[in-house]
């Protein structure tokens, strides 16, 4: 249990700073966005551990459902941050790469928006 908690509570700075090289056609989150998303995910992990503990205790269903809704909303906000970055940075970058990249990028964008709208 302590190992599991340690693994989720730490952020590997080298993983952020020393990213593997990516092709020019595949931009990734910048450092600022990575840190923001990782901090959000860390808080969500804490929420989920709290929910697990609520179930183990046991707590009232309504209290658990409220916490689940809060965790789902937090995950939705992480998705929004990444989607916004993708639309603002990745899509324009692929458009600048040419017709093939442009078509593929727009198809991916339509697919992901469709998934989020369900």
Q: Which range among 40-54, 76-90, 91-105 shows the weakest confidence by mean pLDDT? A: 91-105
Residues 27-60: pLDDT tens digits? Answer: 789 999 999 999 999 999 999 999 999 999 999 9
Q: Are 108 and 95 in contact (CB under 8 A)?
A: no
Domains of the chain: which residue ranges? 2-17+27-116
Residue 19 CA, chain-centre distance (Å), reads 17
Tell me which of 43 and 113 has the higher pLDDT: 43
Whether this prediction's pTM lies above 0.85 is answered by no
Report how far residue 68's alpha carbon sits from residue 52's, in angstroms, rounded to the nearest whole number: 10
Q: What is the mean pLDDT of the chain?
A: 81
Question: Which overall architecture, per CATH, does domain 2-17+27-116 show?
Answer: Up-down Bundle (1.20)
Residues in the chain, total:
118
Report how far residue 88's alpha carbon sits from residue 43's, in angstroms, rounded to the nearest whole number: 25
* φ, ψ dihedrals at 28, nearest 5°: -125, 170
The whole-number average pLDDT for the span 77-81 is 95
Each as own residue / partner, the long-range contacts of residues 81-85 (CB below 8 Å, 24 or more positions apart, any chain) are 81/33, 81/36, 81/37, 81/40, 82/29, 82/33, 82/37, 83/112, 83/113, 83/116, 85/29, 85/33
């Amino acid at each position: 249990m302590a190992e599991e908690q340690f693994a989720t509570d730490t952020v590997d700075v080298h993983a952020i700073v020393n990213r593997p090289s990516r092709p020019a056609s595949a931009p990734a989150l910048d450092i600022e966005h990575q840190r923001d998303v990782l901090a959000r995910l860390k808080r969500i992990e804490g929420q989920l551990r709290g929910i697990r503990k609520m179930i183990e205790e046991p707590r009232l269903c309504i209290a658990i459902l409220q916490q689940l809704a809060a965790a789902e909303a937090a995950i939705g906000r992480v998705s929004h941050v990444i989607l916004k970055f993708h639309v603002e940075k990745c899509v324009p970058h692929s458009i600048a790469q040419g017709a093939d990249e442009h078509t593929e990028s727009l198809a991916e964008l339509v697919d992901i928006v469709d998934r989020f709208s369900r």
